[in-house]
Amino acid sequence: MFPAEIHPIPYSTAKHMGQLSSNSLRLGLEFASDVDFWGCALNNPTLGAAGAWCVRAIVLACAAGVMGACSTNEPNETVVKIAFIDPLSGPLGDQGREQLQRWQGLAQAHNAQAATTGIRFEVVGFDNRGSPQESVNTLKVVVDQGFRYVVQGSHSGVAQPILETLNRHNTRSPGREAIYLNDAVLAPAPSNEPCSPWHLRVDADSGSKAQALAWLLRDRPDIRHVFLINPNNAQGQQLASHFKAAIARHRPDVLIVGDGFYPLGREPAFDAALGQIQSSGAHAVVSGLLGADLAAWVQAQHRAGLKLPVFMFDAALRDRPDAMATVPNAEVYLIAAQHSGLELLGRAMAQAQSTEPSKVLPVLNRPSGLWVSRWQSTPDQRFVLLAHVPAERLSRPETCVVQRP
């Protein structure tokens, strides 16, 4: 099914690797069901104009089944505060809250080993309401409050203002620098202009993912007609454009028989697109929809009886087995990285033997290449790794070349 260059993985090995790659998340979710998280929804007057709705989770290490309650911080443990700035209310609130919970679950799994690592992560969510200005105001406040690591990923329009504001802060405040972890923004811009050594892209951009999928389809001669479903924003437009360019290069015989765009986060009705797909003779669907919209599309396609493969780019659905459980035997593929931002951060801190951003940044890197995984409904509902696409197959020119401190 896959070209030789993509390095297929035997199913038994892929299944084992899939269990390992998702182990920390599984552990975090298990703890989340057993441990009483305490949180708050409050109007924090210290946020001023940001007016952010703060969802706070002080993530404590609990050895489930061994200790009856969460322990207090040990004297030799360093607490690393991470500010999660994304929509936690409104149309994209569900997606933002899910991603916040994912970070909290991963942090909790890491914190269970805090006695060994010496590092305890504290993840705090701030609602930016999807607004660039709210995001900038919130960023200024959290940096003043001592947060040195910032996570954002749901909106490309928010990424640039955050990056520009962080650049100015780090230039003016040596010794108080902060790092921006770009969790899921698919737009290529943050990796190009404006250049910043303080930015780390956790997942690949839309151009790289489109290249990976187009290369994958080289060995799928049964797929000759493709229907595109994307959010009606800059990110969706870019993804559609990148895929068209990549497929023209790797599979010029493939025809784009539909190009649909839908309002992001508004639970769009897909009836018209489903009808177009049925009449177009499409052999596959390529989608850049996000979160709940993507899950709704997969479910709608299943209800319509369209047994077509769906190729998607939003890794958030990997954390939603409940959304996929209603579509048994669906042929759904995910093109995404298999690591989390917190895993990269913990690894870099261990290598640097420090939690200071200026010391962590030089060794904070994202593994090269992308992974292709497929939804498996039985016996264990999850995405199973199938193949690795090496970095040389994803190479695209970048205008941003920076020297890290």
Reply yes or no: is the peptide bond before residue 379 cis, omega within 30 of 0.
yes
139: helix, strand or coil: helix
Closest CA to 2 of 398, 396, 370, 401: 370
Residue with tokens 């390529």: 286
Euclidean distance between CA atoms 108 and 99, whole angstroms: 14
Res 149: pLDDT: 97
Q: Where are the beta strands (DSSP E) in 9-162?
A: 41-43, 53-57, 78-86, 119-127, 149-152
Res 232: pLDDT: 86
Q: Is pLDDT of 259 > 90?
A: yes
- Residue 46 burial (C-beta neighbours within 10 Å; 0-12, 13-18, 19+): exposed
CB-facing half-sphere around the CA of 192: CA atoms within 13 A:
11
User: What is the tens place of the pLDDT at every residue in 207-233?
Assistant: 889 999 999 899 999 999 999 999 888
**77-84 average pLDDT score:** 95
Q: Is pLDDT of 25 > 80?
A: no
Residues of the chain with CATH 3.40.50.2300: 4-17+206-336+368-393, 35-203+341-360
Q: Is pLDDT of 22 > 70?
A: no
Closest CA to 75 of 114, 109, 110, 108: 114
Q: Is pLDDT of 169 > 50?
A: yes
User: What is the tens place of the pLDDT at every residue in 329-344?
Assistant: 788 898 988 888 999 9
24: helix, strand or coil: helix
Residue type, 358: S
What tokens appear for 356 in the block?
Answer: 């200071």
User: What is the tens place of the pLDDT at every residue in 99-118?
Assistant: 899 899 999 999 998 888 89
10 Å Cβ neighbour count for 378?
7
Cα-based angle 300, 315, 17 (whole degrees, multiple of 5):
115
Residue type, 213: L
Res 77: pLDDT: 86
Task: Check: CB of residue 342 under 8 Å from CB of residue 103.
Answer: yes
Q: Tell me how far CA of residue 217 lies from CA of 77, 230, 258, in angstroms.
A: 48, 19, 18
Task: Check: CB of residue 126 under 8 Å from CB of residue 142.
Answer: yes
Res 321: pLDDT: 60
**The domain defined by 4-17+206-336+368-393 carries CATH number 3.40.50.300:** no
**DSSP label at residue 366:** P
From the options 3.40.50.2300, 3.40.50.1100, 3.40.309.10, 3.40.50.970, give the CATH code of 35-203+341-360.
3.40.50.2300
